[in-house]
Structure 1
Amino acid sequence: MSEENEQKPVNFHEMELDDRILKAIAKLGWQTPTMIQEKAIPLLLEGKDVLVRARTGSGKTAAFAIPVIQKILNIKQTATQQDIKALILAPSKELCHQICTVVKDLTVKCSREVRCLDISPQVELNVQKPLLVEKPDIIVGTPARTLQHIKAENLYLKKSLEILVIDEADLVFSFGYEEELRELMTYLPKLYQAILASATLSEDVKNLKSLVLHNPVILKLEEPDLAPASQLTHYLLYAEEMDKATILYALLKLHLIRGKTIIFVNTVDKCYKIKLYLEQFGIPTCVLNSELPATIRCHSVNQFNQGIYDIIIASDEKALEQPGNERNFRETKKSKRRKDKESGVSRGIDFQFVANVINFDFPLDAEAYIHRAGRTARGNNQGSVLSFICIKEKPLQEIVERTINQGQDTSIFKSYQFKLDEVEAFKYRAKDAWKAVTRIAVREARLKEIKQEIFNCQKLKSYFEDNPNDLQVLRHDKALHTVRIQQHLSDVPEYIIPPTLKSLAGVTKRKRKRDNYRTENSTTKFQVKKSNPLLSMQFEGFSKKKKK
């Protein structure tokens, strides 16, 4: 009986948390703590230094945010003056914004007692100085930005700081923050509680551990890097570039992919090429990469999370910096475009309720695959990953498969059966649209979007501050129109849809209006399987031909 009690999961209300935090947790809809939260929160409340290692999507942010808030509330009971008590460092602006949002959500019932400030936005230091003078309880920022404020004497932590948190610790050094972080440590007190949160225990994390932590508890959960097969399904589809484009068009236009989707590619140019390609078929998408201003990136993620649009095309910045890939190295060397080193897409950012991840370009290593896949199947939600693989990418896929399987008899990857000749009519349209997206069109699209977004943010900044609701109207899936749009391509005539797909897509003789297959009342096969959206694509018309 005692063993059963030991295995019984601990609930939030059993952790001796303040009622105001418990009410905020209930408002967020978190019924039970995740495994990492259950293990980490009690240790942190005891005041121990902790190195938290858990996979992406396991709830690491709340695992350190909850005890930080609780400790500040405890300090407030006897404190005689207002001081900065916690510093949270993260490698990217998007992640800083996300952390600050989580903290504010958790302090919604005690916002007067616990205040949080994100200093990562690249505005003039003097703009944030008045906010720092008020000494908010929690500061969130990148190492470089925090150091700038310290040197400008806007921020003084030597006497008041009690908690230091470094999130996504394995990325801090790889983002080029090693020198800033070492210098930053000289401005901190000798004694403080330190927390490192990371998805991996890399060599950089070990170096950071010796620099920051004192006799830490290493909390490494015995869990796989990826969500279990019952929650996350992995598909492979072998196709060359033109066939990839055709399949993507067919799947999206016929709404055979259900729910929010992130399409990953390996270069920023490919982001815009696919956006312009899909734009010709009337499929709205948003591009997310390091060249866009940080405020736009954060706003895009927020609107995606709110369901304003369903498809994001993201470039994996690691692919542009991978020294082992000669082609990408040459591309990076030739490019003179200024990238924001404080940006990250496949790591850290919390895309919420993502149903599908599509690897249009296969990632360069197992770590990149794991973190792309980690964008879906978060918490207790279902998810799927569909990877398009051309002949050149086959060796990469085999390396990733061996690394992830780790000697297991069965592979995590399932072959996704697709008969391309069934959508031959789609291929003709796709080929014309793909060729229409030239290098010049891509370059013009990049320049146009950057100028457009800078105008929206800078010129209308004061207006949106006074009218925050109007900010929601600003859409990031707008058409770029650097490629000639043919209106007829946005429609899918019934005659080009294979007979085996008509019932699945909801197209009938009685219902031929545009987008009929999107109605909530239709009883199609994919609606029955919507809990795992990519499973809906396993239909009879695309089944594998029987061998003679």
Structure 2
Amino acid sequence: MADPEALGFEHMGLDPRLLQAVADLGWSRPTLIQEKAIPLALEGKDLLARARTGSGKTAAYAIPALQLLLHRKATGPAVEQAVRGLVLVPTKELARQARSMIQQLAAYCARDIRVADVSAAEDSASQRAVLMEKPDIVVGTPSRVLNHLQQDSLVLRDSLELLVLDEADLLFSFGFEEELKSLLCHLPRIYQAFLMSATFNEDVQALKELVLHNPVTLKLQESQLPGPDQLRQFQVVCQTEEDKFLLLYALLKLSLVRGKSLLFVNTLDRSYRLRLFLEQFSIPTCVLNGELPLCSRCHIISQFNQGFYDCVIATDAEVLGAPVKGKRRGRGSKGDRASDPEAGVARGIDFHHVSAVLNFDLPPTPEAYIHRAGRTARANNPGMVLTFVLPTEQSHLHTIEELLSGENGAPVLLPYQFRMEEIEGFRYRCRDAMRSVTKQAIREARLKEIKEELLHSERLKTYFEDNPRDLQLLRHDLPLHPAVVKPHLGHVPDYLVPPALRGLVHPHKKRKKLASKKVKKAKTQNPLRSFRHRKERCRPTAMPS
């Protein structure tokens, strides 16, 4: 039940055009962070706000930013068009999402407010053209914004009025510390600033000292994740690495996890190993790979949201681990050194209707667990988190549990009741599949994906027209065989299904249906029967002659 004393959007003194956009988005009441932050921001105060992932932080800064800009244009003296607002985010995907949200809120005042996203490095020339028109709000990563400032295609020293650092606790972890310090030298001495974060850590404290002036701190009294009535959290102890693969196979193949799911692992190589393993059993998945261009990653998210895939494999260890001071993320481990340093997955990306988050690898930090779990149980929808744990990782899991349990100390991660002995019949299949997924197969799977991206790239089309031999060489390169898929593994015989689940799960129901259709079609189109039938019909006409 809504709090009768809660402040509604209509009581905040917002422009009617903003209220109309809010109504179109279906927001009847502000969330807690929006209710507290918007009035303070409209008073001109600096804000340091902590609220959990999925709580509406983007709108909490976008609405007052738009209101302040609209009010200035309507009542202030006529001044030259200039960039008044700057939004810094750690990843390109978050920049794209923030720009989209701001544009939706500015739908009825699009002529007065223009927004530009400068996060994509490959669009530098077009971005410079957009920046020459002086958009009101610029969204981007610190490195891209700094690049434009250094090239003088973006000038903020005399015009900036509002600075937003979204997902502030990740900006230093992504290796943007030096860029941020250099960027601040290009800003005026006085401006209003918002720091929005899901957690308060040392990095946020450092940013607070760099950016904010006498801020109001909003540390909302709410749990970092939804309650147990909305989000169920489980742990399952697997004795070996093989047990993890076996359990995941059973959960997905027997449809014990229903709906859309996100699978998190700790390295990019692991994500491809998992995808190739599941492919052996005809379980379609896709990998959100930071090596691919932004548009391709966004296309994968869009396909997942539209239901083309029920399972996406993602990685966040290099994103949400211990802060990498002075280094750019993504250049560390051998398996992931080529990944895009501004491609983030675990937090902020809007995956729709995720029923379950499966932590196939234990999150590296408690904060990483919170951000992964924040992908499900959003907007009052139910969700589940299942974390796979090896015996050697239980002490680390205990650290995560301590953070989640808070002051009351009640256990949050409940044991997942599953009898591993009931799926022992599947073990030989899993071993067979795991043997097929070699290091060479993983390497070739990654190469194949990049090769397909090159062949279908719109940006390379002109290059290939000028260099047709390169295109022919790429097309006729040695064929890549990521892994040998054994068709029989996609079929689950009834005798292997645990007795308790027989009659409840039908892992090969569709396969039988398709097979029966083909047989039926073959019977109706027997050429011998049709030939004989025609021969008999033409005999009576031939006899009189």
Q: TM-score, normalised by structure 2?
A: 0.84
Q: Which residue of 2 aligns with 1:188?
A: 187
- Structure 2 partner of 1:249: 249
- Which residues in structure 2 correspond to 1:117-132 (within 5 Å)? 117-132=116-131
1:439-464 Cα offsets, whole Å, 9 max, x none, are 111111112212322443345789xx
1:20-31 counterparts in 2 under 5 A?
20-31=17-28
Q: Report the Cα distance in structure 1 between the residues aligned to 2:374 and 2:66, rounded to whole angstroms.
A: 27
Matches within 5 A, 1:368-379: 368-379=368-379
User: Out of 71, 74, 91, which is 1:74 matched to?
Assistant: 71
Give the one of 31, 34, 37 matched to 1:40: 37
Quote the residue 1:84 is aligned against.
83
The match for 2:60 is 63
Residues 260 and 310, structure 2, Cα contact 8 Å, conserved in 1: yes
Return the offset for 1:167: 0.6
Equivalent in the alignment of 1:380: 380
Counterpart CA distance in 2 for 1:91 and 1:194 is: 17
Look up the SS of the partner of 1:44 in the other structure: helix
Count of residues paired in the alignment: 488
Per the TM alignment, residue 481 of structure 1 is displaced from its structure 2 partner at its CA by 5.5
Unaligned runs of 5+ in 2: 463-479, 514-545
Please give the secondary structure, in 2, of the residue aligned with 1:94: helix
Shift of 1:506: 5.4
Deviation at 1:515, TM superposition (A): 8.5
Amino acid at match of 1:232: L
- Aligned-partner Cα distance in 1 for 2:376–2:89: 21
* Residues 472-519 of structure 1 deviation map (CA, whole Å, 9 limit, x = unaligned): xxxxxxxx9511122332233333323321332258xxx954498xxx
Counterpart of 1:300, as a letter, is: I
SS at match of 1:236: strand
Residues 363-512 of structure 1: pairs in structure 2 closer than 5 A: 363-406=363-406, 408-459=408-459, 482-505=482-505, 512=509
1:8 aligned onto 2:5: yes
Q: Structure 1 pair 494/6, CA: closer, same or farther in 2 (3 Å)?
A: closer
Amino acid at match of 1:354: V
Q: Which deviations, in whole Å up to 9, do the C-alpha atoms of 1:67-115 show, x marking residues without a partner?
A: 1112222223244543212110011111111111111222222222222
Cross-structure match for 1:341:
341
Match for 2:199: what amino acid? Answer: T
- Alpha carbons 1:233, 1:383 under 8 Å: kept: yes
SS of equivalent residue, structure 1 residue 252: helix
Closer, same or farther in 2 for the Cα pair 1:32/1:320, shift >3 Å?
closer
The letter for the 1-side match of 2:314 is A
The answer for the alignment partner of 1:521 in structure 2 is none
Distance verdict in 2 for CA 1:515–1:311, change over 3 Å:
farther
Give the conservation status (yes or no) of the 8 Å contact 2:443–2:482: no
- For 2:270 and 2:43, locate their aligned partners in 1 and report how far apart those are by CA, in whole Å: 49
Distance 1:209 1:260, change over 3 A: same
Bigger radius of gyration: 2
Per the alignment, do residues 334 and 481 of structure 1 end up closer, same or farther by CA in structure 2, a change over 3 Å counting? closer
Provide the C-alpha distance between the structure 2 equivalents of 1:494 and 1:195, rounded to a whole number of angstroms.
58
C-alpha distance in 1 between matches for 2:253 and 2:3: 51
Q: 1:67 to 1:207 in 2, by over 3 A?
A: same
Unaligned runs of 5+ in 1: 463-479, 517-548
Amino acid in structure 2 at the alignment position of 1:86: G
Deviation at residue 160 of structure 1 after TM alignment: 1.9
Q: Distance in 2 between matches of 1:423 and 1:379?
A: 35
Partners of 2:54 and 2:434 in 1: CA distance: 35
Give the residue type in structure 2 aligned to 1:209.
K
Out of 246-255 and 311-320, give the one that drifted further.
311-320
| Structure 2 letter corresponding to 1:241 | E
Distance in structure 2 (CA, Å) of the matches to 1:359 and 1:456: 33
Relative to 1, partners in 2 of residues 1:323 and 1:217: Cα closer, same or farther, differing over 3 Å? closer
RMSD of equivalent CA atoms:
2.6
| CA distance 1:334–1:130, change in 2 (3 Å) | closer
Q: Which amino acid aligns with 2:358?
A: I
> Structure 1 residue 426: deviation in Å?
2.5
Distance 1:106 1:315 in 2: 31
Deviation, 1:409, is 4.4
Equivalent-residue separation in structure 2 for 1:414 and 1:214 (angstroms): 43
